[in-house]
């Protein structure tokens, strides 16, 4: 019972982990390369969520310093870092997709297994 | 001033041939005469330089210094004592004669441009082993010599040669790794691998045994010790004869030299006795002797028979070490000399026969003595020395070894020596008898040998004759120069092996 | 003044990388000149830093003037100065070779992009060596990953594209794990700076042991994937063998090592030693390294493509580095770190020599290399030196690193690892020596006419590296003394 309460208290961590695992699983097991890229993004989203939620303070507000003091702010650092992380993720996604386009142009398929099959047939 | 020159000589005898090998390589592009001349000159000058080192070691002097450190406690060092001088002397002497012999012999072979530089380079690295001041330096030159002489082994580039060469290479790598392991264990246990710091390991332990075992594998491989001899009978016969003479006559001795250093410098006599390693060594030696001699009997190829005979003879040398007393050591060192002279004579003679007639099979050699009297004369002296007939040098070394065995209280070894001499007789005498007393009519069919005098060129028979005579000269008088040298070396070694 | 040098290196590399990419295909000579100039400058800076740190000790630099824990800190200690030297020297030599080779291997309109990616990769690797900040480390790792994939896929041949996609997907998985680990460390310590995290960790270890263990495991997995630690090496053989030769040299020589360096930095500077009592990470790394050494060598033996063989050999050799890390103490660690430099030299040289052979004759299959030594004596001589070094013949630098690893293993009374080292040397001999022998003594198959001459500009870097192998085989003291100071011997 206690563990369920703990999980419910920290549900955002839990969700982040679930996303991470879904993404990782998709990335490693699916043979469709587009799905691999999608898995990659889901995984990274999971991590970003996790990272951002670290800095969240319940009841806090955006860290824009107001005139009146004594307000509760959330930790701005994780959010700032994750902005960088998102940029990296986007560029990697773009790069991976461009590679897939190239492969599609050569083989006519986005499926890694099929490409491997085509290649072995060619080698013979 | 003088000491500076003497100190420099050990380095010089290594650097000079290695440098000259490059010069020879360059000159071979220009003219073959120049190449041949340069290689002989280099060998002769090296021999003279080695002789010139004698005064600095004659009275038990030692030259030892560090050239530079690679790592703390590990560097390139030089050490010249009477034992290293002895081996360097005999090596450069045989090398010089072989280099003269090689000029005519190699004129029939291809790729002389490759042969001579390598031939001289191996001389340098071989001398490097002897003047090395620690096991690390020794190891460098040992590996260098072993790996480079691969090129000599496969010189003829036949399928057979390449296969034998591959075997040789793999065994060399394994031996090198075993040595590496042994050296690293010694370094770990003693903090040094120098030859000049007295006994390095004094306490028996598992690690020490592991070190000994790996030294035995590494050097025993080179020395053709049972059961690591398997490469030798393949590799030595396929090489061109001058190279076989050096492989069997000199390079095997580097293994023996290494083992001597291990027994008397890394460890010491009480330790070896206490740990019973001498028994292990003795057993291996006996098996090596008997096996080498017995298998030699069954070989029809002349050079293969000689190669197996080398295995047997190296067994004597290992046995001499296993006895661990001074008298046996004298025999041991003297047998290193004797065997170097005898075996190079035999291989060169076999080479001359192959060169002249193309015959390698022993059964085809009937009457060859009438055709090539000088060659077969030298062969006969050396073969008789192998058997141990007085007054030849082989007798003297066996006699001293036998005395040592009796001193040590193991008459069994004397018995082994006798059995092996008998076997030697069984496989050498028929060759000699057939060569001199066999006639033309004993040939079956196509291979007929013209029996008028037609010996090899002077360039080949003079080195042969010199080597053959030296077998005789150094056996005739019990107190000749080489024997004195072995006496000194043995007592020096024995002293260093006592705590 | 010297304080700004570390950041100057990274900024210079990134900045020029940007400029070079704008140059356009018409001015590709200028692109190469500029790139070489920058690499030269960076090399000089790293040498200066090396001797400065050697004399005056480590120093740190606060980027933008913000002191830690707020700002990003660059820290030049003995290890990073050493690694910088390795990175800049090898990459400089490799690009000199690349000037000619790349014109041959790549389409002419991407040459300036190659320069740009190369500089980006080097800048990111220098950043990894220098940074003292977890998130900054992540960013540099990502940049180097993308740039590394870039210099493979730039060849625009489908093998390369496939290989780089495989590399990219696995690498991104690794980066994801790394970022997650960073998040976990940040969560419990509230800091990203190595020094501050390291201060906090011993205090929070009893409170959140699982967090730290998971973070450590994730870091090992992520850096293990990127440095091709067995069994996470699956991407490496294709990627390294299909890439253009200079890329292969840099990837095998430097890129996989830099992640090992990052791991050493994290294990040394961030994680408290008590963590190893909770989870035997080092033993796992050791176990994997032994598997890597043996499996890499054995798989390399059955390859018929020379570059693929070299790639598998890299897997085995990175095992030595990880063995040093796994033993984690004294001379073994020094040996592992020294092997970073030594293997970088050997493998870069071997890949470049293989590249020369492919350039001159088009041969990639090992069995077709018979007799090549007669036509390319210098190249094969260099290859022979490399092979000797791989086997660990004394007088080559490979011997020195093996010597240290073996001594270190004996110091820790684990002679098993010495046996592994020896066995791997034997295996190396079995697959390297036949190539050398066939090259010099085999009968040649291909007619002379198909043979192209090798420009001196390509041959010189190979020879320089070959001489370096022998030089550092006899004179390792300066490098070694640095490493020993880095690990506090």
**Cβ neighbours, 10 Å, residue A79:** 16
Range of the domain at B463: 279-494
Say if C2 falls within a structural domain. Answer: no
Cβ proximity of C480 and C338 under 8 Å: yes
pLDDT of residue B34: 85
Give yes or no for a contact between B42 and B86, defined as CB atoms under 8 angstroms apart: no
Task: Collect all residues with Cβ–Cβ distance below 8 Å to C99 and sequence separation of at least 6.
Answer: C32, C36, C457
Phi, psi angle pair for C75, to nearest 5°: -130, 120
Sign (positive or negative) of CA dihedral C200, C206, C207, C211: positive
Domain-embedded: residue C426: yes
CB contact under 8 A, C176 and A43: yes
pLDDT the model gives residue A57? 78
Has residue B284 been placed in a domain?
A: yes
The region of weakest confidence among B66-70, C331-335, C394-398 is: B66-70
User: What per-residue confidence (pLDDT) applies to C461?
Assistant: 92
Among the partner-chain residues C388, C422, C437, the one whose CB lies closest to the CB of B177 is C422
Beta-bridge partner residues of C60: C75
On the question of pLDDT at B338 being above 50, the answer is yes
Are residues C320 and C333 in contact, defined by beta-carbon separation less than 8 angstroms? no
Of how many residues is chain C composed? Answer: 489
> Residue C296 domain-assigned?
yes
* Residue C156 resides in a domain: no
| CATH match for A2-123 among 3.40.190.170, 3.40.50.720, 1.10.287.3510, 1.10.10.10 | 1.10.287.3510
What residues have CB less than 8 Å from C218, skipping those under 6 apart? C177, C178, C180, C181, C184
Task: State yes or no: pLDDT of B112 exceeds 80.
Answer: no
pLDDT band with cut points at 50, 70 and 90 for residue B266: confident
Q: Do chains B and A touch (3 or more CB pairs under 8 A)?
A: no
* Helix, strand, coil tally for chain C in percent (to 5): 80, 5, 15
Q: Is residue B137 one of the residues assigned to a domain?
A: no
CA dihedral of residues C33, C39, C44, C46 (deg, nearest 10): 170
Chain B interface with C: residues with Cβ < 8 Å: 68-71, 74, 76, 136, 139-140, 143-144, 147, 154, 157, 162, 165-166, 169-170, 173-174, 176-178, 180-181, 184-185, 187-188, 207, 210
The CA distance from C17 to C69, in Å, is 30
- Per the model's pLDDT, the better-predicted residue between B459 and B350 turns out to be B350
Contacts of C139 in chain A (CB under 8 A): 84, 88
Distances C88 to B186, C10, C126, C473 between C-alpha atoms, Å: 38, 11, 8, 20
Residue C469: inside a domain: yes
C410-422 pLDDT, tens per residue? 888 888 898 899 8
B446: in domain: yes
Backbone phi, psi, residue B495, to 5°: -60, -45
pLDDT at C310: 92
The alpha carbon of residue B471 and the mean position of all alpha carbons in its chain are separated, in whole angstroms, by: 15
The pLDDT tens digits of the residues spanning C207-228 come to 888 888 899 999 999 999 999 9
Give me the residues of chain A with pLDDT under 50, please.
none
Read off the pLDDT band of C316 (50, 70, 90): very high
The two structure tokens encoding residue B233: 């009978």
Q: Is A22 on the interface with C (CB under 8 A)?
A: no
Q: Considering only CB atoms, which chain B residues are within 8 Å of C411?
A: 188
Where residue C137 falls (left for φ over 0; alpha for ψ -120 to 50; beta otherwise) is alpha
Neighboring chain B residues of C434 at a CB cutoff of 8 Å: 166
Does any domain span residue C189? no
Give the pairing of strands B74-80 and C59-62: unpaired
Asked whether residue B274 is domain-assigned, the answer is no
Residue in C124, C165, C187 to test binding to A, most A beta-carbons within 10 Å: C165
Is the pLDDT assigned to residue C87 strictly greater than 50? yes
ipTM for the assembly: 0.91
Check residue B75 and give its pLDDT: 83
Question: What is the rounded average pLDDT for all residues in chain C?
Answer: 88
**Searching chain C, which residue's CA lies closest to the CA of residue B150?**
C437
Lowest mean pLDDT among B84-88, B239-243, C23-27, C32-36: C23-27
pLDDT in tens, C129-143: 999 999 999 999 999
Whole-number percent of chain B with pLDDT over 70: 97
Per-residue pLDDT at C448: 55
Q: Is the peptide bond before B391 cis (omega within 30 degrees of 0)?
A: yes
The span from the CA of B440 to the CA of B306, in Å, is 25
pLDDT at residue B234 in the model: 87
List CB contacts (< 8 A) between A86 and chain C: none
Position C294 confidence tier, pLDDT thresholds 50, 70, 90: very high
Task: Quote the DSSP letter at residue C61.
Answer: E
Q: Do C400 and B71 touch (CB under 8 A)?
A: yes
Provide the domain limits for residue C358: 280-489
Residue C164 is assigned to a structural domain of this protein: no
* Contacting partners of chain B (3+ CB pairs under 8 A): C
From the list C158, C173, C175, the residue facing A106 with the nearest CB is C158
What's the structural domain count of chain B? 1
Residue with tokens 């030849």: B392
Each residue's pLDDT tens digit, B130-169: 999 888 899 989 988 998 888 888 888 888 888 888 889 8
Is C412 inside any structural domain? yes
Q: What angle do the packed helices C456-474 and C330-361 form, to 10 degrees? A: 160
Residue-level pLDDT at C190: 85
Count up the domains in chain C and report the number: 1
DSSP label of B69: E
The set of residues, in sequence order, having a beta carbon less than 8 Å from that of C455 and lying 6+ positions away, is C100
Q: How far is CA C77 from CA A74, B269, C59, C129, C191, in A?
A: 35, 50, 7, 10, 21
Rounded mean pLDDT of B169-195?
88
* Angstrom distance (rounded) from CA C395 to CA B149: 17
Query: Looking at residues C21-29, what average pLDDT do you find?
Result: 79
């Amino acid at each position: 019972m206690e563990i369920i309460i703990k999980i419910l208290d920290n549900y955002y961590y839990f969700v982040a982990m679930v996303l991470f695992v879904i993404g990782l699983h998709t990335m490693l097991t699916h043979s469709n390369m587009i799905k691999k890229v999608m898995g990659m993004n889901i995984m990274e989203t999971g991590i970003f969520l996790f990272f951002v939620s670290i800095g969240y303070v319940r009841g806090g507000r955006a860290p824009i310093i107001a005139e009146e003091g004594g307000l509760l702010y959330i930790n701005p650092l994780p959010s700032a870092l994750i902005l960088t992380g998102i940029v990296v993720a986007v560029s990697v996604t773009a790069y991976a997709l461009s590679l897939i386009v190239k492969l599609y142009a050569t083989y006519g398929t986005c499926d890694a297994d099929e490409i491997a099959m085509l290649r072995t047939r060619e080698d013979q | 001033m003088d000491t500076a020159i003497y100190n420099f000589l050990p380095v010089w005898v290594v650097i000079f041939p290695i440098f000259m090998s490059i010069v020879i390589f360059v000159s071979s592009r220009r003219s073959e005469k120049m190449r041949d001349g340069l290689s002989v000159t280099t060998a002769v000058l090296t021999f003279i330089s080695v002789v010139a080192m004698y005064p600095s070691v004659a009275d038990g002097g030692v030259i030892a210094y560090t050239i530079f450190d690679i790592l703390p406690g590990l560097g390139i060092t030089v050490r010249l004592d009477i034992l290293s001088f002895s081996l360097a002397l005999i090596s450069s002497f045989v090398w010089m004669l072989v280099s003269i012999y090689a000029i005519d012999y190699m004129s029939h072979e291809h790729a002389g441009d490759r042969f001579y530089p390598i031939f001289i380079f191996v001389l340098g690295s071989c001398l490097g082993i002897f003047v090395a001041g620690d096991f690390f330096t020794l190891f460098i030159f040992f590996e260098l010599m072993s790996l480079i002489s691969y090129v000599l082994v496969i010189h003829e580039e036949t399928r057979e040669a390449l296969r034998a060469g591959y075997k040789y290479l793999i065994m060399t790598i394994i031996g090198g790794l075993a040595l590496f392991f042994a050296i690293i264990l010694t370094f770990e246990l003693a903090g040094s691998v120098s030859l000049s710091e007295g006994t390095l390991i004094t306490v028996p332990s598992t690690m020490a045994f592991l070190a000994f075992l790996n030294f035995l594998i590494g050097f025993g491989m080179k020395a053709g010790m049972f059961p690591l001899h398997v490469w030798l009978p393949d590799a030595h016969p396929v090489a061109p004869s001058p190279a076989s003479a050096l492989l069997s006559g000199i390079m095997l001795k580097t293994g023996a030299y290494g083992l001597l250093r291990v027994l008397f410098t890394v460890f010491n006599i009480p330790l070896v006795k206490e740990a019973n390693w001498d028994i292990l060594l003795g057993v291996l030696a006996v098996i090596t002797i008997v096996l080498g001699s017995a298998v030699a009997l069954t070989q029809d190829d002349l050079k293969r028979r000689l190669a197996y005979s080398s295995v047997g003879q190296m067994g004597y040398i290992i046995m001499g070490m296993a006895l661990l007393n001074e008298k046996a050591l004298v025999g041991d060192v003297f047998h290193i000399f004797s065997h170097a002279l005898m075996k190079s004579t035999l291989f060169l003679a076999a080479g001359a026969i192959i060169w002249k007639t193309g015959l390698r099979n022993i059964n085809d050699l009937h009457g060859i003595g009438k055709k090539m009297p000088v060659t077969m004369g030298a062969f006969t002296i050396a073969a008789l020395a192998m058997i141990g007939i007085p007054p030849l040098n082989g007798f003297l070394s066996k006699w001293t070894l036998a005395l040592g065995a009796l001193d040590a209280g193991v008459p069994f070894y004397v018995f082994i020596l006798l059995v092996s001499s008998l076997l030697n007789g069984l496989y050498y005498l028929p060759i000699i008898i057939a060569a001199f007393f066999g006639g033309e009519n004993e040939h079956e069919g196509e291979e007929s040998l013209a029996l008028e005098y037609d010996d090899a060129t002077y360039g080949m028979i003079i080195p042969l004759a010199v080597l053959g005579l030296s077998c005789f000269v150094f056996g005739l008088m019990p107190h000749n120069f080489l024997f004195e040298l072995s006496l000194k070396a043995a007592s020096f070694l024995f002293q260093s092996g006592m705590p | 003044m010297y304080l700004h040098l570390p950041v100057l290196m990274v900024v210079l590399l990134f900045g020029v990388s940007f400029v070079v990419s704008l140059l356009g295909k018409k001015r590709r000579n200028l692109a190469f000149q500029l790139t070489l100039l920058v690499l030269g400058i960076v090399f000089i800076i790293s040498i200066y830093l090396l001797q400065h740190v050697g004399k005056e000790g480590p120093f740190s630099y606060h980027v933008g003037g913000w002191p830690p824990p707020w700002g990003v800190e660059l820290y030049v200690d003995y290890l990073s100065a050493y690694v910088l030297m390795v990175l800049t020297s090898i990459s400089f030599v490799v690009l000199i070779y690349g000037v000619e080779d790349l014109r041959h291997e790549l389409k002419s309109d991407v040459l300036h992009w190659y320069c740009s990616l190369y500089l980006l990769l080097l800048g990111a690797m220098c950043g990894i060596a220098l940074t003292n900040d977890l998130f900054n480390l992540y960013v540099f790792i990502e940049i180097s990953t993308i740039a590394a994939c870039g210099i493979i896929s730039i060849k625009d041949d489908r093998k390369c594209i496939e290989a780089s996609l495989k590399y990219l997907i696995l690498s991104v998985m690794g980066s994801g794990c790394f970022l997650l680990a960073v998040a976990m460390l940040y969560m419990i310590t509230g800091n990203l700076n190595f020094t501050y995290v390291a201060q906090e960790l011993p205090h929070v270890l009893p409170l959140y042991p699982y967090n730290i263990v998971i973070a450590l495991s994730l870091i090992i997995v992520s850096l293990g994937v990127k440095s091709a630690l067995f069994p996470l090496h699956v991407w490496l053989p294709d990627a390294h063998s299909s890439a253009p030769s200079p890329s292969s040299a840099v990837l095998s020589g430097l890129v996989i090592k830099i992640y090992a360096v990052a791991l050493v930095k994290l294990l040394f500077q961030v994680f408290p030693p008590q963590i190893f009592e909770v989870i035997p990470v080092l033993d796992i790394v050791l176990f994997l390294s032994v598997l890597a050494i043996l499996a890499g060598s054995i798989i390399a033996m059955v390859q018929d493509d020379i570059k693929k063989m070299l790639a598998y050999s890299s897997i085995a050799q990175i095992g030595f580095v990880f063995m040093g890390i796994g033993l984690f103490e004294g001379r073994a660690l020094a040996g592992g770190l020294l092997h970073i430099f030594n293997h970088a030299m050997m493998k870069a040289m071997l890949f470049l020599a293989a590249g020369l052979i492919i350039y001159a004759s088009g041969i990639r299959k090992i069995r077709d290399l018979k007799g090549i030594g007669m036509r390319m004596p210098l190249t094969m001589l260099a290859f022979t030196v490399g092979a000797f070094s791989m086997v660990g013949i004394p007088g080559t630098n490979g011997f020195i690193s093996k010597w240290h690893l073996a001594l270190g293993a004996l110091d820790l009374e684990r002679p098993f690892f010495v046996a592994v080292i020896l066995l791997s040397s034997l295996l190396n001999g079995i697959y390297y020596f036949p190539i050398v022998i066939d090259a010099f003594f085999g009968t040649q198959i291909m007619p002379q006419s198909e043979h192209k001459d090798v420009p001196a500009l390509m041959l010189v870097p190979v020879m320089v590296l070959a001489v370096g192998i022998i030089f550092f085989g006899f004179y390792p003291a300066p490098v070694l003394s640095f490493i020993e100071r880095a690990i506090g011997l």
